[in-house]
Each structure stands twice: as C-alpha cells, then as structure tokens.
Amino acid sequence: MLKPNLPMKVSLYGKDYVLWQDSTGNISCLPNACPHMGAMLSAGWCVKKSDGSSAIACPFKQFIDNGLHSHAYIAQVRKKPNLQDFLKNPGLLAMPQVLEAHLENFFPFMGMVHGESPLLSLKECHFYLPESETHSRVYVLMFVKANHPIAHAIKRNLLRLVEVVTEQDAYTLSKIYVNTPQHIKLNNEVGMDWVRRNYASFPAIVEPNFSRSQYAR
C-alpha cells in the first residue's frame, strides 16, 4: 500500500516506474528514469502543493517533474532536513527550502553555481578532473558574502555542505539509467552537447540546435 507522498519503485515487464500518492489520495505514475539525466526518481521525494497534490523531485538536480523546462536559472527544492541533519551540519540553517541557483558551464571542466538566500550570497567554482574511466576528482572554490550575522557563525560548515552534496550526486549518478534519452536540457548544457555531437560526427561539423522541440517529450 502506498503511503502519502512517499515515492515507490515498481517494475513491470522489464521497465521501472515510480508511483506516489498525494495527500488527496490521487496516485501518479511516471517512468522511473528522470528525463534530464536518467536518475532514479524513486530515490527522490514528493513536493507538496497547497491544493494537496504533489509532484516528484529528482534526487540529482531537484527538478520537479511537471513538464518541459530548458533554462539555467532553476529553483531547486531541497529535501526537508530533520533535527539530526541540522545537528550534523549547522550550515543547513543557512540554506532556504528553495535554492534559486544560476548554473554556468565553462568547457571543458569547470562549472559555476550562483546561489542567493536571505542569509548569504554564494558563488561556487567547481572543477571536475577525470582521473580514470570510473573516478573523477572535484575541487570547489567558494566565495561567500554574509547578509546576516548568523552566516558568520556557520560559514565553516558550508564547505562541508558542498562535500555532502557532491557525495550525494556521486551516489545518484552511480545508479542512473544509462543511455536514457535526454528530454530536458538546461541551456548551459547546449555547448557541451554541441561538442559531443561534433566529436561523434568528426570531421563533419554539426551546427548547434537551440530549438526546444529537439528535447520535447
């Protein structure tokens, strides 16, 4: 029996799906592979709405699966921390329930995250350095501007918070559905997609396709 707002993975004829029931008793079902990068939606959580309905949030980029999106300014809905989470990392107190993130990619190995909250402004530079086919090293350079005195008290925990997020992302990526068609693409990923297609079609040059219809469901 389904519990309210708790995703459940089910398999039928060799395909995986995620089921969840909202507070009104309505049951929803989706393919378990996130249309962005193939993460398991059943490992995510439900985001409740004011009318009692709910949507599923991907555990990787926290996309809420309710339609087609293509942008680099995203609202990432966090999983609600419990008391034990706050005790382990007080830095969670500085993070809002919805993270307004601005993502940028710089070919070939650097990404930037711009985050804003009432307590602080955050700039993160992520450097991804592959070491082998199965291992990569991630370096993070963080800049923080405190907007509230409490931010100074917890700033030492913020880097640990990034470490936790990186570990969670690595765990999620280890359980993705490989070769899932990508139906959702951020515009900061278009450049990398163009490089990937040029590599596959070399020596021919492929023009970039900025049409959303290319990624429509």
Kindly tell me if the per-residue pLDDT of 127 is higher than 50.
yes
Kindly tell me if the per-residue pLDDT of 90 is higher than 70.
no
Q: What is the pLDDT of residue 16?
A: 95
Q: Residue 212's pLDDT band (boundaries 50, 70, 90)?
A: very low
Domain-embedded: residue 5: no
Give residue 179's region: left, alpha or beta (phi > 0; psi -120 to 50).
Answer: left
Give residue 6's region: left, alpha or beta (phi > 0; psi -120 to 50).
Answer: beta
Q: Identify the helix (H) or strand (E) that includes residue 164.
A: helix 149-173
Q: Identify the helix (H) or strand (E) that includes residue 193.
A: helix 190-201
Domain-embedded: residue 183: yes
Domain-embedded: residue 194: yes
Other CB atoms within a 10 A radius of the CB of residue 100 amount to 13
Kindly tell me if the per-residue pLDDT of 77 is higher than 60.
no
User: CA-based angle 98:102:104, to the nearest 5?
Assistant: 145
Domain-embedded: residue 56: no
In angstroms, the CA 208 to CA 45 distance is 35
Kindly tell me if the per-residue pLDDT of 166 is higher than 50.
yes
By mean pLDDT, which of 1-10, 18-27, 63-72, 165-174 is the weakest? 63-72
| Cβ 190 vs Cβ 208: under 8 Å | yes
Distant-in-sequence contacts of 13-20, Cβ < 8 A, 24+ apart? 16/40, 16/42, 16/177, 18/42, 18/56, 20/46, 20/54, 20/56
In angstroms, the CA 143 to CA 75 distance is 20
Q: Considering its fold, how many domains does the chain have in total?
A: 1
Domain-embedded: residue 73: yes
Q: What is the pLDDT of residue 217?
A: 39
Q: What is the pLDDT of residue 110?
A: 75
Q: What are the tokens at 193?
A: 């997609």
What's the mean pLDDT when you consider all of the chain?
Answer: 74
Mean pLDDT along residues 188-217: 65
Mean pLDDT along residues 156-166: 73
Domain that holds residue 173: 67-215
Q: Residue 66's pLDDT band (boundaries 50, 70, 90)?
A: very low
Looking at per-residue pLDDT, the higher value among 135 and 7 belongs to: 7
Domain-embedded: residue 186: yes
In angstroms, the CA 8 to CA 175 distance is 16
Q: What is the pLDDT of residue 17?
A: 94
Q: What are the tokens at 194?
A: 């163009």
Q: Residue 122's pLDDT band (boundaries 50, 70, 90)?
A: confident
Domain-embedded: residue 133: yes
- Rg (C-alpha) for the chain, rounded Å, is 19
Mean pLDDT along residues 61-82: 51
By mean pLDDT, which of 58-62, 118-122, 177-181 is the weakest? 58-62
Strand partners, 9: 18
Length of the chain: 217
What pTM, to 2 d.p., does this model score? 0.60
| Cβ 42 vs Cβ 32: under 8 Å | yes
Domain-embedded: residue 17: no
